[in-house]
Amino acid sequence: MLGQIAGACLAIGTALALGVQWLVLKPIKLYIDSATYPISPNANGSLSLPDAIRTINEIKVLVNAHIDTHDTPQNKQN
């Protein structure tokens, strides 16, 4: 008898946990997915914002190195 009660409580608890997951967590996940949807998914090769920032920083280093190694009017010191 005690085993049947424990089994029934376990089944009810599992059903409640699945219900909470389906009724609460799924809508929250859908909301987060829609709120964080990329504005231009095809821009930047579908890379993330940190990837874009890293690429821009790499380009900045290359441009600064180019300016430093070439004789440009802005770089000349009299």
Ranges of each domain in the chain: 1-37, 42-78
State pLDDT tens for residues 29-67: 888 888 777 666 666 566 667 777 888 999 999 998 888
Do 33 and 41 meet the contact criterion of CB atoms below 8 Å apart?
A: no
Do 44 and 52 meet the contact criterion of CB atoms below 8 Å apart?
A: yes
Least Cα distance to 16 among 24, 5, 6 occurs for: 24
Q: How far is CA 19 from the centre of its chain?
A: 27
51: enclosing H helix or E strand: helix 49-69
State pLDDT tens for residues 5-35: 999 999 999 999 888 888 888 888 888 888 7
